[in-house]
Amino acid sequence: MLFFSYFKDLVGREVTVELKNDLAIRGTLHSVDQYLNIKLENTRVVDQDKYPHMLSVRNCFIRGSVVRYVQLPPEGVDIELLHDATRREARGG
Amino acid sequence: MSWAGPEDIYLSTSLASYLDKKLLVLLRDGRKLMGTLRSFDQFANAVLEGACERVIVGDLYCDIPLGLYVIRGENVVLIGELDLEREELPEHMTRVSTEEIKRAQKAEREASDLKGTMRKRMEFLDFD
């Protein structure tokens, strides 16, 4: 549940989601669920010329199982907080 | 589990807010399907009405009509809402017939196969 909670805190931030098929999409994180499915708003594809069919897609749902990386804004990462949360989770509380 | 009420579907990650909208579904094999979402579940299994496959080869494209499609969720990569106000594709792309796109697809496949065999034959040269 740690990463689910973590991503929930990032809602509203600008992120880049890189998929296993190398497609990279930048957009505002709208929501995330338990499977780490992601909904993005105001999306744009990083390599637009290679994926012309994505031109008119503004909002999208990405299946969690196809995500390779999520690139976050640096200010969205609090190492201390993550560290603590990880230890807490590992202890089972 | 409870059903999402009408006011919170827009806040959740569920596909409910995409129901009855025209969507673009990207599949794991690279195919692009377009159609109206009529049903879905938690695995992203989806029912598309009036589905068609959009085949793009270079600057050519074609929409091949398919009918009603049930997509198994594991094959779904992305479901995008199509903004009907915007141009669907860049201006320089031209729509062609099904026969023409099939021909172009075949030519592209043959070209990439040829590239593969050439590379294989040249492997002894050991470049990357």
Whether B87 contacts chain A with CB within 8 A: yes
Write the residue in B28, B79, B93 that is nearest to A61 by C-beta. B79
Smallest Cα–Cα separation from B89: which of A47, A21, A49? A49
Is the predicted pLDDT of residue B8 greater than 80, yes or no?
Answer: no
B43 CB-near residues (< 8 Å, 6+ apart): B72, B73, B74
pLDDT value, residue B6: 58
A&B contacts, CB < 8 Å: 81
| Tens-digit pLDDT profile for residues A1-55 | 889 999 999 999 999 999 999 999 999 999 999 999 999 999 999 998 899 999 8
Taking the C-alpha atoms of residue B114 and residue B121, their distance in angstroms, rounded to an integer, is 11
DSSP E strand stretches across B28-122: 32-40, 46-57, 60-71, 76-82, 94-95
Burial class (CB in 10 A: 0-12, 13-18, 19+), A15: buried
Residue B8's DSSP bridge partners are: none
CA neighbor of A59 nearest in space, from B4, B63, B7, B15: B15
Q: What is the residue extent of each domain of chain A?
A: 2-91
A60–B78 CB contact, under 8 Å: yes
Assign domain A2-91 to its CATH architecture.
Answer: Roll (2.30)
pLDDT of residue B19: 95
Q: Name the minimum distance, in Å, from the CA of B117 to any CA of chain A.
A: 24
Which residues on adjacent β-strands are paired with residue B24? B34, B80
